[in-house]
Structure 1
């Protein structure tokens, strides 16, 4: 067995250990209400079991990372699969550090699902080792990517704690306009998370079915001498084509529920070769996530936030607020070094300039400015509690767009990661 195969097995083991750890954290928190023994002892016992299990999962994840590094002879952060798996590992490292400080099992009930979703999302992308392009074969890239991801991982833990705070303090019996607004946005936050889960489920379901559709897109260009040329490119779909690429013809489309052709064509301004496929993926993510959300609402017969809210009873909201702030405060200087300073050093070595207004650079700067504002409002204006937690939740949405949206949607020098 090669090291690459061994690393893949270690990755699968880590994923299942994370899943088991999540279930143990749920038992530690939710199970203490039904325990005949001392609830505190129950939480401590199962919290320890969950922490040991999640730590073993992290060991498996680290094994995956280093064996893949040795086997491929390059740091495994060069494409979306490798970077997202590293981000999941970084979130677990950040969680382990924060948990060691505060020892709050409830944090694991929210951080572990986030890690599981991230790891499952990584598995959507091609897992083959891809050779590095020259711009990526540099020590500063390794430093830049790893430190930036570690900073973002602490932001993720801050997001989890902030979301927990909101689930703890928002009153679902409040029928005022302000109360309903808070309930709506909290429920919407959970809905967006479920859309990501729906995306993963949809991709794996159709991949398991072996679904394929192929389109040929024609694109005309005129060079500097006025000579027109036409380029034909094939676009491969693994999800049924609700929307096909602009100016394209179907080459072959598998039938799904009687649908053997695209419903409509991507708008003319989305004329990139993969723009239509990406729009199609977004639509399917919303459809699958909405179906999953609807089934959950049907099962519980109440908003999901209202279902989770009772689990927060007995938790000090000030502890959650403090954990969220501390995690972001730890992550901010790490993110500053990785996403800005080390990134600019690498950019100068790779492209001969420190800054070039590439979309990824712009959104990294936006993310940094956002969390700078968060810390400013927290420290100078005394924004704590709900205000601080909402900022932590929204901030991680900005981070997700910087990580995923920019790589997969906006064309730029970082688009290599979207393959």
Structure 2
């Protein structure tokens, strides 16, 4: 067994231990009503056990990181697989810091799943070690990426505690217009999380089944007046094609549940043979997320927000508000150093300019401005409680678009994500 194989096995082990820790945190919170002990005693005991399990998993995760670093010869943050695995580790580091300060057991029920989702999302990408391209061969890679990820991990914990605050304070029994609006927004947030989970499940299900449909398209370019050059573009769909690429022709088609041809073709403005595949992935994510949402709704027989609301019983909402603020206050200067200051220094070294309006640079700035506004509104305008919680939730959505949407959808200098 090579060191990289050992690293991969340790990563899987860490994932399993995180899953066990999540279940233990759930027992600590949900089982307090049915245990023979006082609720506080039950929560404290099982919360400690769960925290020990998450700490053991974090040590395994750190071992994966070190062994992959040694085996690859460079810090493993150079593509989407490596960065997402590192970000998930940093989320647990941030959770560990916040938990050590506040000892809020229920935070583990919401924070650890974020790390699990990021780890599962990382597995979507190619896991082979890739040689570094010239711009990445710099010490500033280590500083820029690690600090940016650590800052974003505290934003993730702020997101978790902000969502918990909303679940704790929104009146799900009220029929007032303002309360109904809050209920719908919380439900939409939970639905968005389920879409991501369903997307991962769908990807792994079709990957395990070995599904593949291939389209080809003739791309004609004009090299000079009167001279055309034709090239054949080919794209492989790993999910059944609801939508075909624009002007794409079927080379091989694998039927699925009676689907023997695409339902429609991507519009002409979706230029590029891969645009249709990405649109198809979005449609599958929404459809599978809707199915999962409906299934859970039928299972619990009530909106998800209302179903989760009792979990927050006994939790001091002021503590959740404080955790949200502290997590973001810790993460913001770290993110500023990593995502802006050292990023600009690295840009000057690699590309000869501090700023170039690359899409990733722009969205990193948008993220920084958003959290700057959060801190300003919190400290100068007194935005606490529900307003603060919603900003924390929305801010992390901006972070995820910066990480995922910009890397995978928008082309730019940072588009070395390692996708296939």
- TM-score normalized by the length of structure 1: 0.98
1:80 aligns with 2:105: no
Give secondary structure in 1 for the equivalent of 2:214.
Answer: strand
The equivalent of 1:341 in structure 2 is 341
**What are the residue-to-residue correspondences of 1:384-403 with 2, within 5 Å?**
384-403=384-403
The equivalent of 1:63 in structure 2 is 63
Give how far 1:228 is off. 2.5
Q: Is the 8 A contact 2:126 2:418 kept in 1?
A: no
The equivalent of 1:358 in structure 2 is 358
Give how far 1:225 is off. 5.4
1:124 aligns with 2:111: no
1:27 aligns with 2:23: no
The equivalent of 1:175 in structure 2 is 175
Distance 1:315 1:66, change over 3 A: same
Structure 1 stretches lacking a partner, 5+ long: none
Q: Is the 8 A contact 1:219 1:247 kept in 2?
A: no
Structure 2 stretches lacking a partner, 5+ long: none
Q: Is the 8 A contact 1:220 1:231 kept in 2?
A: yes
Q: Is the 8 A contact 2:248 2:273 kept in 1?
A: no
Q: Is the 8 A contact 2:194 2:293 kept in 1?
A: yes
The equivalent of 2:370 in structure 1 is 370
> Per-residue displacement from partner, 1:372-398 (whole Å, max 9, x unpaired)?
000000000000000000000000000
**What are the residue-to-residue correspondences of 1:217-296 with 2, within 5 Å?**
217-223=217-223, 227-296=227-296
Give how far 1:120 is off. 0.9
**What are the residue-to-residue correspondences of 1:317-336 with 2, within 5 Å?**
317-336=317-336
CA distance in 1, matches of 2:234, 2:44: 56
CA distance in 1, matches of 2:230, 2:415: 24
Give how far 1:226 is off. 6.1
1:416 aligns with 2:416: yes
Give how far 1:221 is off. 2.1
Give secondary structure in 2 for the equivalent of 1:290.
Answer: helix
- TM-score normalized by the length of structure 2: 0.98
The equivalent of 1:133 in structure 2 is 133
CA distance in 2, matches of 1:210, 1:109: 34
The equivalent of 2:111 in structure 1 is 111
User: How well do the aligned residues superpose, as a CA RMSD in angstroms?
Assistant: 1.0
